[in-house]
Amino acid sequence: MKQGAWMEAKHLSERLIHYDILRILAAYLIVMLHLSVQYINKAPASVEEYLQWQQAVKLGTAARVGVPIFVMLSGAFLLHPDKQIPLSAIFKKYLPKLAVLFVFWSFFYALTEQNFFEHIGRIGLSHSWQEINWSKFWPYFAQGHYHMWYLYMLAGLYLLTPLLKHITAQASKAQMTYFVILCVLMTSVTKLNTDLWHLSVLGAILDKLSLSFFLGYIGYFAAGFLLSFYTPGWRASLVVFALGLLSFRFTYEETWKLNPMFGFDTPNLLYFSNYSPTVFLMSFALFLLFAKLGFIKLWKPLQMLLLPLPKYMLAVYLVHPFLIDLCRDTSVLLPAQSAWSLPGNAFIIFILSFVVSMVLMQVYWLLLRGIRLVFRTAKC
């Protein structure tokens, strides 16, 4: 059994630096993806604006892999045989953590949606609560902010993890490859038929096959395990890299063709979906590239600087939409006239999100320690 990059670590608890770097890169790409909406979703009014729009589409295409990489990293670690996850841990550890995160952040964004924090400075805290429209607040809270679908999706994958771990423990490399290919095909064909082909016969066949288990992000989750545990050799890897690069080019060029100059009000971003076959292939290529970099050894001081960063990336994901809106309102970001301001603006938001996440996490840990100390004192 070939175990690829995982053989680089004697114990699962050891840090895999190449995956830490990939997690940080994925978080940055997600920030850039959400910022790219301002650049891409507005129809250009001139030839010069259209050329800038094309470049923004190219950058947005590169950013599409951020969320899939997050999911693949989760699959790589959670589905690894050395990672023991009893069924009870899902309900006592993993899901409660997600629930706490969702309740806190969804409540925060639901308040933000009703300008609660702006009202505090104008009419005071008590009056701000009275201004809230609770009939709109609670549905918004239950659904979460636009980016919090990720927590719902992750909860679903957690529920499947004990079953998937049994599959990955028993399946061969060929069987896992078949599993991932089936997920990609079912998800991509279903998506393309729904949004592009509109073939009623194909839709009926897909419905009768009843293979909905293989739809969605489970393909990314399983692929993270497959490409990390059974890292292919360089010949096969070069094929995956080539497919990833071709998919990248196909995605932005086909998006240009779907949206000719002065031919649209709202752009058609069919291939930007995480269920697009091109996004699958781009994500697999980038993940595999880093899986092949398990041999890298960073300079010791740089490694010590890097090690604490990945644990803040989920918080960066959760807080960055608020900072995007705040920075736009306060004109902190670079002007959006040029597409090349997008990576710079993403870097600004990423750094600010990281700083805020660090502060919030420190406050959280201090509160947690204080609560534990109170309970210990009470027991004594």
End-to-end CA distance of the chain: 52
Q: Is residue 214 part of a domain?
A: yes
What pLDDT score does 105 carry? 96
Q: What is the DSSP letter of 262?
A: T
Q: What digits encode the pLDDT tens for the residues 311-351?
A: 999 999 999 999 999 999 888 999 988 999 999 999 999 99
Q: Is residue 208 part of a domain?
A: yes
Question: Rg (Cα) of the chain, in Å, rounded?
Answer: 22
- Say yes or no to pLDDT of 110 above 50: yes
What pLDDT score does 366 carry? 86
Residue 5, amino acid:
A
How many folded domains does the chain comprise? Answer: 1
Q: Is residue 343 part of a domain?
A: no
- Say yes or no to pLDDT of 221 above 70: yes
pLDDT category of residue 176 using cuts at 50, 70 and 90:
very high
Range 15-26 average pLDDT: 91
What pLDDT score does 321 carry? 97
- Say yes or no to pLDDT of 170 above 50: yes
Range 130-135 average pLDDT: 91
Angstrom distance (rounded) from CA 180 to CA 341: 37
Range 188-193 average pLDDT: 97
pLDDT category of residue 11 using cuts at 50, 70 and 90:
very low
pLDDT category of residue 2 using cuts at 50, 70 and 90:
very low
Q: Count of residues for the chain?
A: 380
Q: What digits encode the pLDDT tens for the residues 222-270?
A: 999 999 999 999 999 999 999 999 999 999 999 999 999 988 899 999 9
Range 35-54 average pLDDT: 94
What pLDDT score does 4 carry? 47
Closest CA to 347 of 333, 368, 359, 358: 333
Angstrom distance (rounded) from CA 86 to CA 162: 7
What pLDDT score does 12 carry? 42
Q: Is residue 376 part of a domain?
A: no
Q: What digits encode the pLDDT tens for the residues 56-102?
A: 999 999 999 999 999 999 999 999 999 999 999 999 999 999 999 99
Q: What digits encode the pLDDT tens for the residues 197-219?
A: 999 999 999 999 999 999 999 99
- Residue 26 near residue 345 (C-beta atoms within 8 A): no
Q: Is residue 324 part of a domain?
A: no
Range 359-378 average pLDDT: 81
Kindly report whether the global pTM for this prediction surpasses the value 0.85.
yes
- Say yes or no to pLDDT of 194 above 70: yes
Over the chain, what is the mean pLDDT?
91
What pLDDT score does 8 carry? 40
Whose structure tokens read 């210990």?
Answer: 376
Burial of 79: CB neighbours in 10 Å, binned 0-12, 13-18, 19+: buried
* Contacting residues for 235 by C-beta, under 8 A, at least 6 apart: none
Which phi and psi (to 5°) does residue 313 adopt? -70, -35
Angstrom distance (rounded) from CA 349 to CA 136: 29
Range 180-184 average pLDDT: 97
- Count CB neighbours of 305 within 10 A: 11
Residue 275 in tokens: 């269920």
Q: What is the dihedral of CA 317, 328, 348, 72, to 10 degrees?
A: 20
Burial of 59: CB neighbours in 10 Å, binned 0-12, 13-18, 19+: buried
Q: Is residue 331 part of a domain?
A: no
What pLDDT score does 127 carry? 76
Label residues 130-169 b or e (16+ Cβ within 10 Å = b): eebeeeebeebbeebbebbebbebbeebbeebeebbeebe
- Residue 101 near residue 151 (C-beta atoms within 8 A): yes
What pLDDT score does 117 carry? 86
Q: Is residue 318 part of a domain?
A: no
Count H helices, E strands: the chain? Answer: 17, 0
pLDDT category of residue 375 using cuts at 50, 70 and 90:
confident
What pLDDT score does 15 carry? 65
- Count CB neighbours of 325 within 10 A: 11
Q: Is residue 114 part of a domain?
A: yes
Residue range(s) defining the domain that contains residue 65: 4-311
pLDDT category of residue 379 using cuts at 50, 70 and 90:
low
The share of the chain scoring above pLDDT 90, in percent, equals: 79
- Say yes or no to pLDDT of 175 above 70: yes
